[in-house]
Structures are given as C-alpha cells and as structure tokens.
Chains A and B, each alone.
Chain A
Amino acid sequence: MNVLVVDDSKLARMAVIKLFRALHPDWSHVQAANGDEAIAALNEKKVDLVVLDFNMPGRDGLDLAAEFRKIRPTMPIAVISANYQREVVDRARVVGATFLPKPVTEQALKEFLATAVQRRQDFDP
C-alpha cells in the first residue's frame, strides 16, 4: 500500500508516518505540505490511501478531500484535526472521509485502516 500524508506541519506528517511504520512497516509513504502538492502526488504516483490535515493554509483538508473524492471515488480518506466541532466531523462524513481526532493514536489509525483495507477489498477483490 502507498499512503499519501498531507499536512502543512512537517512534524505532524512525521508523527503520522511513525504510526504507519509501527502498524505496517512494509507500506510506503508520500508526503505533501499543501493542496497543490497533494493533487500532484495523487495524479503522478500510485496512492492507495490518504491521510490529510483539516486546518491548512489555502484549501482546507475537507475541500481537498472533496477534490480527491472526484478523482478517486473509492479511495479511503482520513481527515485529522484537533478541531472536532460537529460541523467539521459532519463535513468529513459528507465527502466520504473518516474523521480522526488529532493527535492521532495508533488505535484510531488501526481502526481506520481495518475499515479502509476491507473497503479496498470490496471494491477491488
């Protein structure tokens, strides 16, 4: 699996990648610091799953998730944020993304990945 991690904070990207390494050491990672880099990565590289921050300069993570959804309708997407207001969580649901509270825990990521892998198998058996 190839994971795209999108966050304007380098440290936040490193934190997510650390969790992925603990859970799935064989998976590879692509990083993007903003929406443009993320869209370019999605178009140019094989990406199976995306984890993206909500609060970023320019396009926020949910706008970006909606764009991703148009390009890749079945790709699992997680939006992470410390801002767990109902409207933010609801918007994540509307664009078909999973909301994960930040800082992301290994358990929360594990549960998201279990669903994501299952979903991928359902669409691509």
Chain B
Amino acid sequence: MTESPHAALDELELDALTELVNLGVGHAASNLRDMIGQQVFLSVPSVALIARQRAIDLLQTREPRKLVAVHQMFEGDINGRALLIFPETRSLELVRAVTSSDLPLEDIIELEQEALAEIGNIILNGCLSTIANLLLRTLRISLPEIIRGYSHDMFNLETPPEGGDVVLFVYINFVVRGRDVQGYIALLMDLPSVTALKQLLDDFIQRTAGDGNLANEARNRTG
C-alpha cells in the first residue's frame, strides 16, 4: 500500500466504489448463473489503491499456477482494464459448464478461446455497464482478448492506459461448487483515472445518500 494514493479517495468514496463493484459483480454473477444453471458464489469485494507490483504479488500468492484471463479495456471519463482471471487448468471446466457436459474434450478445447471470450464479455460487460449506469456515464468497452501467463503477465500489459505505477485494484473471488470452477475479477485503473473517479463517486454519494449533510456526517464519523 502507498501513502499518497490513499489520500486520493477517502473512506466513504472507497465504500461507494466497493458498493458499485458489489452491484456490478452481483448482476454479472446472476448472468453467469443463467448461463451455467448453477449458483455462483461471490466473495465480498476488496478495493485497494496499491502499487502495480503489489497487485501482481497478491495474485501470485493466491494463484501461483499458470492463468488465463479475458481482458477488456474501458474508456470514458475513467480509463482502465477489467480482467476475468482463472487458473488455466480450470478454464476448460468453465467452458464445459456453459456448453454441454456431453461434448468430447477435443470439441471443448476447440471452443475454449471463443467460449472464454464470450463468458468474459458477458461478465465484464455486465459489471462495467452496471457501474457506468450508476455513475451516469458511458464507458466504451473493447472487444475481449484472451491472455495466458502468470500474475505479472496479467497486470503488466503493453497496451494503454498506463499512467504511473499505482493501480486501483478491485478483487473479487467467485466459485461454482461442484464444477471446479473458480476465478477472479480485477479492475485496474491508473492514477489520472482515480482522480476523475473521485468526482464521479462524490456525485454518486450525493445522489445516493440524499443530502450533503448526511454524507458529510458520515465522513465526519469515519474520520
């Protein structure tokens, strides 16, 4: 964790961001549940402004194995990247879950790339669209791209936006029991986007909490 980035968002703004992610991922999980016909269990999201290397280390600690991710960039008032990450060994099981358990392995392997992109598109778009709608903003979301590698490959991409070595790391774990499917959703934003996000979150807090006094009271109580 770093000092100055924390000052960028106060406690209530971080709370608001966590709640936005909660809403976005809740909707996305419901979409995934409809695709696979089984309940998707979600962890409580964690949101942190941390150094990029710290994000890599956190993911590496949880998942030292080779990973596969669906990656989408978003642009608008805020710019960043969304990743749906799985251990590579679990990705075929996820594809099997959304297609048909009867398909032979060679068909599953052939479908993997396309199916992962579609799953990622539905989950990440669902999540990002919910957040954008609640912030009353439009985000342009790129087509999904599949990335394979280890944790440093997930967060050290060559594509823009890059803007400093600090990222807003939003992390949530999801599990489909009985299917051996488990994965993570991560949103990465650089510092300029965090500054823009701060204003959007303040507007969201005012709309959601009602009057400014209520929000200010909450800020005073949380210090």
Interface residues of A (CB under 8 A from B): 8-12, 14-15, 18, 21, 55-57, 81-88, 102-103
Query: Chain A residues near B61 (CB, 8 Å)?
Result: none
| Interchain residue pairs with CB less than 8 A apart (7) | A9-B15, A11-B208, A18-B214, A55-B42, A55-B44, A82-B22, A82-B24
In the bound complex, do residue A85 and residue B40 qualify as a contact, i.e. CB atoms below 8 Å apart?
A: yes
Alpha-carbon distance A83/B22, docked complex (angstroms): 9
| CB contact under 8 A between A11 and B210, given known A87-B39, A102-B23 | no
B148 CB–A CB distance under 8 Å:
no
Are A55 and B22 in contact, with the CB atoms below 8 A? yes
Within 8 A of A (CB), among B170-220: 205, 208-210, 214-215, 218
Residues of chain A lying within 8 A (CB to CB) of residue B26 = 55, 81-84, 102
Contact present for A18 and B210 (CB under 8 Å): yes
Q: What's the tally of chain B residues with a CB closer than 8 Å to chain A? A: 28
CA–CA, A12 to B12, complex, Å?
A: 11
Taken together as a complex, chains A and B put the C-alpha atoms of A11 and B203 apart, in Å, by 13
Min Cβ gap A16→B in Å is 10
A-contact 0/1 string along B8-28, CB 8 Å cutoff: 000010011011001111110
- A56 near B44: Cβ-Cβ < 8 Å: yes
Contacts of A9 in B (CB 8 A): 15-16, 18-19, 22
With A15-B208, A55-B26, A103-B134 in contact, do A10 and B12 touch (Cβ < 8 Å)? yes
